[in-house]
Structure 1
């Protein structure tokens, strides 16, 4: 065989390898792009699950029927978490609703898992202070065949086989890093503290939300009662008009006006009932119960309201700032950012580490029919190293600057949160005072409106008043009663919000 023939044969084999690699690459790309069949086929066409050609074809939307953008149903998605057992013959108070919400509301479990993950992060950072010991096993087998021309033996083959196993125990331990790990562990600890504080904050928010929804439900029930009473008052006026009309002293105009007033009162009653249904669903949502739950609620809209001091003392504001979860969490985030600067500064210092290995090797070597040769050894090593970065194109400097900016942002966020919290508390305290004053004024207005309505109705019955005056007095009484109910709940909500903003809404109110 000539050199040219050998060269051509080598080129042929190389060409075959290139062709095989090219075909394989094309096949891989074809498989990757083939996944587009699972995506929507056009921007204006609905997505449908891919169906194989041999499967039963699905019905496709036609132009006459219009495009159907519905999605396939998944029965597993409709499986709702079982609701707690509720007593059908018991009316639940605010205290009991909050107790259920703290166990059933998903936000409390989300905050709990977030706090647990933050604690695990701190544990993972602290684990870097300890050495890493790992077991490794490397084994292998090899075989080679080499043709050789030996004297007196002619052309022959030498078969060589080799096999062995190397189990080893490796040690890696970072001894000294100029406080980088300590700073990272401290920062993770501060973030864990923030997550724990926010976990309690999630419970405080659940208490506030349930309280709000409970009061709004009570308001909706009171408005239903008031509109029902207004409806009965309108019917009472209409009855008086009918009696006067039958006696020959009334007019058809008065009768028509009375009928209109009854219809308006009935519309207000139906609207109030719809709001009441929505308020009930809001209670279920705040507690964390399914929307189809059936639970009886006991509301006390006659709860007395207490007077508050004229001003919010500076000592009370400072105490509130010291125990508000969001302020505490922001302060912990600031401390974590400061530890991040220390960790970034430690990147400029060297790191001292220890590495070691203990191994046991066993190898076997054989050639044709010659006796096998076996070898065992027990190598071990212990090394101390130093790692000192010299040039990294400014990467460490950029990380340090980024950490310093994070500290500045955390300081600004903390100060802003302090100021916002102070303004919220002062504004809510003022709103509570206004709500209490409005409640007192609405109570006086209701008493006056009740007297005016009774007088106007009696005057009309005895023929010394007009139907217009009676209807105006009825509407005035309705407005006064609704205003008093609104002011009462507004004061209760303002008191709950003030307690929440001052970090004092930490448990359910005792029954």
Structure 2
């Protein structure tokens, strides 16, 4: 009883010691986990909300606020279309930001890049693992007997060894820090690309909206032309009934009506195509029918001068593609530093706490229980010597990637400046064309009214009326095209300047 009592007392004290070690390790794990960044705070809270840079709190800090909540669902949102509602451009953009798959794809990519930052941060902390090793062994040993025979002695051993191990890379000459910097730059690039996806979506919806608007306007012009053609036909038939007209004039008037009907069919077909383009840009199903507000009276922006160097520099500091290419360059440079640090030594810390509970039995003797504990701390240094030039080729690869990223960044900047200048020229030309087309329409209207009145009074010919009607139709379509082209050019310039961040009108985005 005394021996058994001693064993029981030792087991209790060992269990208390083990539980205390486990508690200390778990508490340490909780404290170390608090040092890590929350990936949900490194990107936008939802796919329909553009990203805003984080503040100084957190390891991925730029400037500005960010939403605290995170959308947990990955299912596509259900968009409810209100029957009878006339959707404006801003409301269509809101629908697109909530329903178009491109924003969700870019959002998920930004979340993946944010999670990579957390992975890189985790390499600075120790790895703690719990291990259990259990085993059983039965050894049979032949022994000669005094009478010339052979006897066999069986020795049985069993045991369980639970342990907790710690591995910690203490120093690596900046390799992990370089990889963390690269992950942060990649996450920043993913976030600004996510914002760029929103800007591109707004731009595409705006373009489709204006194209649909001009298609609907041309359909109305075709209907107006058909009414004019019927008026001319009625006048020709009236003159023929009065004996002052000819059958040739009536035939020509009927031909004009047929031509107007053909133009109307073409205009309506173009309107259907433009509608599908608009719903596709918004991200709605092809069979969805919505009512869209007219863009006919949309105010045009004022004439702009050539963009100054200051305006271009500000635009380059806002454009997501330029920011993303610059972040990609910084990430490549960080990867190059990490590849260089791989040639240097690394200092490791290891620790283990283990317990052994087992028993040994030999032959017919009573089994002997074994209980012991072991703990240790080790500090080591590893120096890479030869690896088949794997690290050397990785370093070459990283250097090449840096040069490629630098060239791509330069190309992106130059292309952005060229796009801004071209968009500015297009806007200036479109506004000038609209002024000329408006003057042409006013003159064509006066000519048509005079020609039609003269024909009704017997002072003009049907040929003059037909030519005036055709000129008026062309002038109205030219004015509609120039108005839409001005709106499209304004939206393109706002997009190239990096100002297409909301559903505002193009003239507001250009301020």
TM-score (norm 2): 0.81
1:102 aligns to 2:134 (yes or no) = no
SS of the residue corresponding to residue 360 of structure 1 reads strand
The offset of 1:252, in angstroms, is 2.8
The offset of 1:370, in angstroms, is 2.6
CA distance in 2, matches of 1:266, 1:125: 67
The offset of 1:230, in angstroms, is 0.6
SS of the residue corresponding to residue 437 of structure 2 reads helix
Name the counterpart of 1:332. Answer: 327
Deviations 1:413-445 (A, max 9, x none): 111111111111011101100000000000011
The offset of 1:288, in angstroms, is 1.9
The offset of 1:153, in angstroms, is 9.2
Instruction: Identify which range, 372-381 or 190-199, moves more after superposition.
Output: 372-381
Matches within 5 A, 1:11-160: 83-144=78-139, 150-151=145-146, 154=149, 156-160=151-155
Contact 1:432-1:495 within 8 A present in 2 as well: yes
CA distance in 1, matches of 2:260, 2:231: 12
Which among 445, 450, 453 is matched to residue 450 of structure 1?
445
Name the counterpart of 1:162. Answer: 157
Unaligned runs of 5+ in 2: 1-74
Which among 383, 388, 393 is matched to residue 383 of structure 2?
388
Which among 455, 465, 475 is matched to residue 460 of structure 1?
455
Contact 1:83-1:289 within 8 A present in 2 as well: no
CA distance in 1, matches of 2:479, 2:192: 38
Which among 165, 169, 175 is matched to residue 170 of structure 2?
175
Contact 1:220-1:276 within 8 A present in 2 as well: yes
4+ residue runs over 3 A deviation: 80-83, 142-161
Contact 2:77-2:99 within 8 A present in 1 as well: no
Deviations 1:153-182 (A, max 9, x none): 945554443321111111111011000001
CA distance in 2, matches of 1:454, 1:100: 45
Name the counterpart of 1:508. Answer: 503
Matches within 5 A, 1:287-326: 287-326=282-321
Which among 325, 338, 342 is matched to residue 337 of structure 2?
342
In structure 2, the CA distance between the partners of 1:81 and 1:103, relative to structure 1 (3 Å rule), is closer
Instruction: Identify which range, 381-390 or 126-135, moves more after superposition.
Output: 381-390
CA distance in 2, matches of 1:190, 1:134: 31
Contact 1:432-1:494 within 8 A present in 2 as well: yes
Deviations 1:292-313 (A, max 9, x none): 2232211231223232233221
Unaligned runs of 5+ in 1: 1-79
SS of the residue corresponding to residue 109 of structure 1 reads helix
RMSD: 2.0
Matches within 5 A, 1:238-257: 238-257=233-252
Deviations 1:102-135 (A, max 9, x none): 2222111111111111111011011100100000
Instruction: Identify which range, 255-264 or 382-391, moves more after superposition.
Output: 255-264
SS of the residue corresponding to residue 342 of structure 2 reads helix
Contact 1:83-1:290 within 8 A present in 2 as well: no
The offset of 1:146, in angstroms, is 5.8
CA distance in 2, matches of 1:369, 1:153: 22
1:422 aligns to 2:436 (yes or no) = no
CA distance in 1, matches of 2:129, 2:76: 43
The offset of 1:152, in angstroms, is 5.1
Name the counterpart of 1:473. Answer: 468
The offset of 1:248, in angstroms, is 2.8
CA distance in 2, matches of 1:153, 1:366: 26
CA distance in 2, matches of 1:267, 1:164: 94
CA distance in 2, matches of 1:192, 1:306: 37
Which among 260, 267, 276 is matched to residue 265 of structure 1?
260
CA distance in 1, matches of 2:347, 2:400: 29
The offset of 1:373, in angstroms, is 2.4
The offset of 1:459, in angstroms, is 2.4
- The total of aligned residue pairs comes to 432
Name the counterpart of 2:56. Answer: none
Name the counterpart of 1:283. Answer: 278
Contact 2:87-2:292 within 8 A present in 1 as well: yes
